[in-house]
């Protein structure tokens, strides 16, 4: 199976931080977070 890319929004991150670990898949996938999302949660 090929590498997947995920663009996360605030709700995914705030729902459960472990979603990041699950989606990253030990480096098998790429995770992208927009700057506005980081500002929203920071």
Q: What is the pLDDT of residues 6-40, one digit of tens each?
A: 999 999 888 998 988 888 888 899 999 999 999 99
**Rounded-to-10 torsion of CA 12, 18, 19, 20:** 90
User: Which has more pLDDT, 3 or 42?
Assistant: 3
Phi-psi sector, 8: left (phi>0), alpha (psi -120 to 50), beta: beta
Residues 6+ apart with CB under 8 A from 32: 5, 6, 7, 8
pLDDT tier at 1, thresholds 50, 70, 90? low
Whether the pTM exceeds 0.85: the reply is no
Which structural domain range is residue 37 located in? 5-41
Q: How many domains does the chain have?
A: 1
* Strand 5-8 relative to strand 30-33, pairing: parallel
């Amino acid at each position: 199976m090929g590498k997947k890319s995920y663009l996360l929004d605030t709700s995914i991150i705030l729902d459960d931080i472990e979603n990041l670990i699950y989606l990253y898949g030990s480096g098998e996938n790429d995770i992208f977070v927009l700057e506005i999302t980081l500002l929203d949660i920071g």
